[in-house]
Structures are given as C-alpha cells and as structure tokens.
Structure 1
Amino acid sequence: MGRDHWRVERTRHSPWGALALVLLTGLALVRNGPDPSPGPPRPVAAASAHRHQNAPVVPAADLTVRPLAYAPASRVVIPAIQVDAPLVDVHLEPDGSLGTPPPEEPRLAGWYRDGVAPGQLGTSVLVGQVDTVAGPAVFDGLGSLRRGNRIEVPRQDDRVAVFEVYGVEVFSTAAFPGTRVYRDTGRAELRLIAQDGCTTSDGHDTCVVVFARLVATR
C-alpha cells in the first residue's frame, strides 16, 4: 500500500495533542460500483466484513465510564483473535503520511503518539501490518472481529483502557474516508487499522478498520 493513502495533518484540540485527519479524496468501500467486493484474502475473515457498508451506528455514550488522563500506551490485547502485542510509537513521516511499525517486526503494533492516548477523551489510533513477506503479521485476524468483542490497551500509568467493538469495515485505500474514521465523536474511542497487505481478487487494495468505544477502565 502506498503511503499517499495515509496522508495526515496535525491538529490540536487538547493539551495532549489530537488525532490526525487524513487528507484523502473521499469515501469508497471496496467495490466496482454498487456490487459487493469479495473482500481481501487477509485477514482471513475480512471477506465478510464488507457487510458493514454504512457508517457504524455509534452506541449511546456510557456516562458511567470516565475517560482517563493522558498516558502513553504500551500494549494491545485482543482476546478474540489471540493478539497480545507490544506497541511502538508511530509519527507522521516527512511527507505527511502516517508511520507504521518496522516491517522487520511484524508482531508489533503502532500507536499514533502525536494524537490521543487510548482511554483519553477523543479518538486514538493503533495501526499494524496484515502480512509481510515472512507471513502473517499482528493484525492478520482483524477482519474477524465482531460487535461486542473487547480490546484492552494497557498503559504506562498501570491503567488499562477497555474498548468494545461496534463496527468493522473494509475500505478502498484509494478513497479512504479519513474524516469519518478519525473524527472526534465527543467521547473516548479507538480505531484499529490494518494498514497494508490486503488486495482483493479483482486487484483493489483495501484495508480493514475497527471502530470501538471505551466501556471500562481499571
């Protein structure tokens, strides 16, 4: 996947920094016209993720869950797909594209350090590879997540932010809807992005995006 599909610019909405907005050309699911794409061969279950053709319905905010203060994220744990991975910081590249974990470390995921911390008010972003020349990578199974699955993000302040999935979508990287994916919903949310390695049988480059909201802290 070319980096041109992940251009972002820095914005600031809090003392801690804010989520980047991707400067891309518009929204498109992985489609040739209105017909569904068969979905990418990886993640394994991503072929069924194309069902989420409309924006995920954002559940009502749980006012009993208070967002956390800023603290760097250290790991991501996704029990449903057996992921327990260290997080490395990723930043914007000089060309404005969003950085990724080193390709030689396929089991690492990345946290966009210049944005919101997981559990903090706002939308935080974790990115990871789907596959490499050596085989499956950390987010290989991302497309198999379903509504209600939990994602835990341990942080360096010894707190854990717990998120619940409310949507899984497959997008064309040529028309990635950055504003919709990264927008501030007014509460603590998380996006997981499988940032590379997905190509459909008809040649469309795609990516899987998981939408999740904060439901607990400990």
Structure 2
Amino acid sequence: MKGQEWYQATEVAEEYDEKRFSRGGRLIDRREKEAVLDAVGPVEDQRVLEIACGTGRFTVMLAERGADITGLDISGPMLQEGREKAQRAGVEDTIEFMRGDAGRLPFPDDHFDTVFAMRFFHLADTPTKFLTEMARVSKDTVFFDTFNRFSTRSLYNWLLPMGSRLYGDSEVRRLVDEAGLDLVNDEHDFLVPYGFYRKVPDWIAGPVRSVDTALGATPAGKPLSSVSYWQTTV
C-alpha cells in the first residue's frame, strides 16, 4: 500500500485537513461530499462502512444524517482525529472507528447497506482484492473514486513523493466486473488537478473552478478529467 507509513505519522494526521481542505481545497471538500451524498442517498438508520475513513470527514457527515456508520482505517493517528471530530459534532455515539486492513474486513457477508471509499484506490497495490472485499460485506451500494491515467493528474503525479496509482476507464470497469458488481453511474470531474486548488486562495480557485466545470461539461470533459466517481451495486 502506497504511503502506508506516511499516513500513520501523527504530524500528518494532525495537519491533514488543514493542508488539503483549506483555501482553494474547500472546493474539493465540497465536491467530494456532494459525490458521496449523491451516491449513498438517504442514510438514516442505514448501516454504512467507510473504508480508509482517515480523519472522519465523510464519517461524521453521514452520522449527522442518521447513519449507523463504521469508519475503518489503518492509521491510529488518523482515527484519533476522527474521534475528536465526532465528539465536537456530538455524534460519537453513532460512529464506531476501527483500525483494520481493508483487504481483510472483519465483517460477515452482506453486513452493511452501503460501503464506500474515498481517496483510497490511488494507494492500492492490489485494487481487485480491496474492491472484492467491499462488495462482499455490502448488500447494496459500493461507491469509490479513482484518479485517472489520461489526465492532468498524470503530470502532477510526477511531483508527488510517493506517486499515485492512476486508472484508465476500461481498467476500472474490469475491476467492477471482477468484483461481481454492476456499474450504476460514473461521473468525471476536475480537469485541473487537486494539487493546484490546494495551493491557491479562494479568489483564484473560484473562477478557475467555474472554467474547469464548464470545460468538464463538454465532450472533452470525461477523457481529460483527473477524478472519477463510481457508483455500483451488488
């Protein structure tokens, strides 16, 4: 797993949200949360599992909407940040944070209504194993995102200390088939890679995002998009 030691560092966990989702990064946070909510639908009284929950951005959001949610991550410091976030939001009683391996989920088959993972598959050395496990423990929806090979992300990837696994459209569709899942919907976004938005202030990020979104709606949008969201069912 790429970056396993890096993500488990306490200083990384403490600074994670601030470095990625402040300034122009707020636009990324907003879009990712929108994508999750669109995919999972109403979650009140639903049993949900988040893989690689990190600092609990989505875990807490869904708990606030009534989900009975479990957040699993390999990083103890990230989970601690999530617990503190849940306490501040007053939803700590409806979230279970667990440290564990996404390749060997400690749950029976069909245990959750929905299973999802964000910011995870770009780190996966063996994506088929992880997606198959997600499908095994879900009885309905499996949702995840990927970074795309034929996009501006491929250029930005050279600057990253540990790189990312990038996916082509056909590769993801094959993974979905191999996991026994049916693809319901796929969306593609962010012609400008995440790294740009995180480095610029709001007054620059906003207009760039407007242009990015407009270009993304054209026929060139899908092949050039750096991020894809995949909604599937078991």
Give the TM-score of the pair, scaled to structure 2.
0.29
Q: Which has the higher contact order (CA 8 A, sep 6+)?
A: 1
Larger Rg, first or second structure (1 or 2)? 2
Give the TM-score of the pair, scaled to structure 1.
0.30
Higher helix residue share = 2
